[in-house]
Chain A
Amino acid sequence: AQKVTQAQTEISVVEKEDVTLDCVYETRDTTYYLFWYKQPPSGELVFLIRRNSFDEQNEISGRYSWNFQKSTSSFNFTITASQVVDSAVYFCALSELTQGGSEKLVFGKGTKLTVNP
Chain B
Amino acid sequence: NAGVTQTPKFRVLKTGQSMTLLCAQDMNHEYMYWYRQDPGMGLRLIHYSVGEGTTAKGEVPDGYNVSRLKKQNFLLGLESAAPSQTSVYFCASSYTTGSATYEQYFGPGTRLTVT
Contact = CB atoms under 8 A, between A and B. Distances in A.
Interface of A: 9, 32-33, 35, 37, 43-45, 47, 50, 52, 91, 95, 98, 100-105, 107-110
A44 B42 contact: no
Contacts, number: 52
Given A44-B106, A47-B105, A109 B41 contact: yes
Given A43-B109, A100-B56, A91 B42 contact: yes
Contacts of A47: 103-105
Contact of B50 (A91, A102, A105): A102
Nearest to A96: B101
Given A35-B103, A43-B109, A95-B101, A107 B42 contact: yes
Contacts of B43: 91, 107
Interface of B is mostly: strand
A95 B58 CA distance: 14
B57 to A, nearest CB: 10
Interface in B81-115: 88, 90, 92, 94, 96, 98, 100-106, 108-109
Interface string B22-58: 0000000001010000001111110010100000101
A45 B94 CA distance: 14
